[in-house]
Amino acid sequence: MIIASACGSKEKNSVNDFVFEDGNKKVELKILNGKNYLDFNEPTKIRIELINYNDNKFAVSGMGIEKLSSTKTNMDLEIKPTESTMTNGHMEIKTTILVGDEKVNYEFKIPVKTK
């Protein structure tokens, strides 16, 4: 089992902060409104993309997440950070990919901006 974690950077113009790479394989979380954080108590659409993970099964879990659609290579979600769904000012999203008999886990920690 492989476990990795990523957090967004504090740079305002950096959108691609949520990427895990392992050789030619990549897992990327994109916040579809172009920000690198979530707004507190506001629903935001995100996409998790798998690159070069062919014919693998994957799952996503976390509090306050609603699945909108999915294919073999990506999943569109809506996430709404609230007091009860946040951990230390972040939303945590866990992704598990089944590669053969091995589970590969990634954890994204997305910063939440409060008003």
Output the domain CATH number for residue 15.
2.60.40.10
For residue 92, pLDDT over 50 is answered with yes
Asked whether the CA dihedral 70, 108, 59, 61 is positive or negative, the reply is: negative
71 φ/ψ angles, rounded to the nearest 5 degrees: -130, -170
Of 53, 56, 45, 46, the C-alpha closest to 27 is 53
pLDDT band at 1 (very low <50, low <70, confident <90, very high): very low
Asked whether the CA dihedral 40, 20, 103, 4 is positive or negative, the reply is: negative
Query: Taking the model in full, what pTM does it have?
Result: 0.80
For residue 29, pLDDT over 50 is answered with yes
Q: Yes or no: say if 69 and 92 are a contact pair by the CB < 8 Å rule.
A: no
Range of the domain at 15: 2-113
Better-predicted residue by pLDDT, 10 or 58: 58
Q: What is the mean pLDDT of the chain?
A: 84
Q: Report the number of distinct structural domains present in the chain.
A: 1
For residue 24, pLDDT over 70 is answered with yes
User: Taking the CA atoms of the chain, what radius of gyration do you get in angstroms?
Assistant: 14
pLDDT digit string, tens, across residues 4-17? 444 443 333 334 46
- Residue 65: the pLDDT is 95
